Amino acid sequence: MDYLKEKGFKKDFGRFITGPFIWLPLPFFILLDIVVSLYQFICFPVYGIKKVERASYILIMDRNKLQYLNLFQKISCMYCGYGNGLLLYIKEIAGLTEKYWCGIMHENVTGFIPQQSQIALQFAKFNDVKDFIRKYINDKYK
C-alpha cells in the first residue's frame, strides 16, 4: 500500500485516471476463471492429472476483515487477492498441462527467465535425449 505514502494532486489525479485500467480486467478474469476451471474439470480426469484446488490459490475473504482499512481498500484488496490468486491457479494448471503434453525445459537463452514450474515438475532437460527417454519413454515399457 505504498500509495498511502504519496500525497498531492498530481499523484491523486494519476491514480484517478489509471483506476479504471486496474479494474478493466475483472470481467475477463471471471470469464477466464470459468473457462480454465471447466477445462480442468473436463480434461484432467482424462489425462490422469490430479486437479488443482482453486481454494489453495484464491483467497479473497481475509483482508476485508481488517478494521483499519476503509471500504474501498477492502474491496481493492479482495480484487487483488482474486486477480493474483487466479493467475497463480491458472499458471499451475498450465504447468501441469505442459508437463503432460510437452515436459521439456526451454532452451537456456540469455535473458529468458527459467519457468519455476518446469524445474519443480522435473521437465526433461533441453536437448538431452537420455533424460527425455529416462523420464518419458522408459516408463511405457516398465
Residue-wise pLDDT for 56-95, tens only, equals 999 999 998 999 999 999 999 999 999 999 999 999 999 9
Those residues whose C-beta lies under 8 Å from the C-beta of residue 80, and which sit 6 or more positions away, are none
pLDDT over 50 at 142, yes or no: no
The neighbour count for residue 127, using CB atoms within 10 Å, is 11
pLDDT bucket at 12, cuts 50 / 70 / 90: confident
With a cut of 60, say whether residue 134 has pLDDT above it: yes
Q: How far apart are the first and last CA of the chain?
A: 54
User: What predicted TM-score, i.e. pTM, was given to this entire model?
Assistant: 0.84
Distances (CA, A) of 80 to 62, 123, 131: 12, 31, 40
The owner of cell 522408459 is 138
Q: Which amino acid is at 63?
A: R
pLDDT bin (cut points 50, 70, 90) of residue 4 is low
